[in-house]
Amino acid sequence: MAELKAVSFIMEHNLPISLLDHLTPLCKSMFPDSNIARKMLCGRTKGSGIIFNVFKQQSFENIVLHLKKYPFSLIVDETTDVSVAKSLAIVARYCKDDCLVNSIFFSFLHVKSAKAEDVASAISTLITSNDIPAKDFLEFGADNASVMMGRIGGVGARLKELNHNLFVMGCVYHSFNLCSSKASEKLPRSVEEFVRDVSNYFSNSAKRIEAFEEFQEYSQTARHRLLRFCITRWLSMQMVVNRILEQWSALKLFFIAEVADENSLHKAKSILDAFNNPIFHIYLYFLSYILKIINDMNLEFQSVELKLFILASRLRVMYKTVLKSFMKKAVLNNTKLSKIDPSKPEHFLPLEEIYVGTSK
């Protein structure tokens, strides 16, 4: 029993299993007069065995019992590594009699491939082999990859064969990211390249970072490090852009010094040219402004608090805020929001009245 409780403690607090190698001797030294502590023999190997052979099966059976009793949703995600074996993590969500929503890790499946038919087959087998009623499988959630969300051959479409009333929902974060990424294609590509080049110029170079700190001190700029832009998460650009705007003076001085050096890279010259071009400064202020609106809305969807009843109104406010930046007030005030066509040029404000962000 003592060993089971020790392993349970490790699991509950998400501690390294290797801690058991030290916990057992510690208990023996702390309680030398205890027969239980003296007989306790549980290191990482035995602890792993207890987890996989005792707790794993017991926990899985408890989850299955709950899914047989209560309607449930499944949220899945594939592994993104480059290994040959593909795996699928599955989280189950259900509401018990206490009306509290439970989100619990259900299973980690190995699939033949990342094809929709293999992923859907693995999920279907998991449900049917454990005699879980398919009629209680109410919702399927995943990212917005075509493999998952394809209307004809996607995983969600195939799982509807289990329950025709299944509701398939994509990831809102991915939707915001895809929308922003698509919209960014209307901007000059040189803007994104500029942001990426500035970040990459300092990556893996302690010498450049140290030299940059001197210019931060000289320009009395906060000594913050530059952030990396993740190309697969376009919304991460807001933090990167804000940091570049914050460090603008120090960065410009740094690249002036870099270009003055005979051994400087050609990339430093192209970055300095961008710093000397005021249009890049304007584009970055615009990105900081518009991405903040989208990221703030994204955070609403990620909130741990219950906000389902206000999300629709928050979305309408966000949409109208964006429209106010470039559309005439008369159109916004006299037309139902869902009927407004934001692509009609006759609804646009004069160019000098369009709001594209501010430095304040």
Residues 94/72, Cβ–Cβ less than 8 Å: yes
Instruction: Give pLDDT, residue 84.
Output: 61
Domain boundary among 111, 144, 170: 170
Considering the domain boundaries, does residue 175 fall inside one?
Answer: no
Instruction: Give pLDDT, residue 234.
Output: 65
Considering the domain boundaries, does residue 212 fall inside one?
Answer: yes
Considering the domain boundaries, does residue 185 fall inside one?
Answer: yes
- Burial group, residue 63, by CB count within 10 angstroms (0-12, 13-18, 19+): buried
Beta strand residue intervals within the chain, DSSP E: 72-78, 86-95, 101-111, 137-142, 167-170
Considering the domain boundaries, does residue 241 fall inside one?
Answer: yes
- Burial group, residue 283, by CB count within 10 angstroms (0-12, 13-18, 19+): buried
Instruction: Give pLDDT, residue 2.
Output: 85
Cα 204 from Cα 167, distance rounded (Å): 46
Instruction: Give pLDDT, residue 232.
Output: 61
User: Which residues form the domain of 12?
Assistant: 2-61
Q: How high is the mean pLDDT in each 10-residue block of the chain (360 residues)? A: 87 88 88 86 87 84 92 87 73 88 88 86 92 92 87 90 90 82 89 92 88 92 86 77 94 92 81 94 93 88 82 91 93 92 92 81
Cα 20 from Cα 183, distance rounded (Å): 52
Mark whether 55 and 78 lie in a shared domain. no
Number of domains within the chain: 4
Domain boundary among 13, 40, 61: 61
Mark whether 57 and 123 lie in a shared domain. no
- Residue 240, strand partner residues: none
Domain boundary among 290, 321, 345: 290
User: What are the angstrom distances between the C-alpha of 233 and each of 135, 172, 225, 308, 333?
Assistant: 36, 13, 20, 25, 35
Instruction: Give pLDDT, residue 66.
Output: 92
Mark whether 248 and 343 lie in a shared domain. no
Instruction: Give pLDDT, residue 41.
Output: 84
Instruction: Give pLDDT, residue 170.
Output: 86
Mark whether 241 and 317 lie in a shared domain. no
Instruction: Give pLDDT, residue 52.
Output: 84
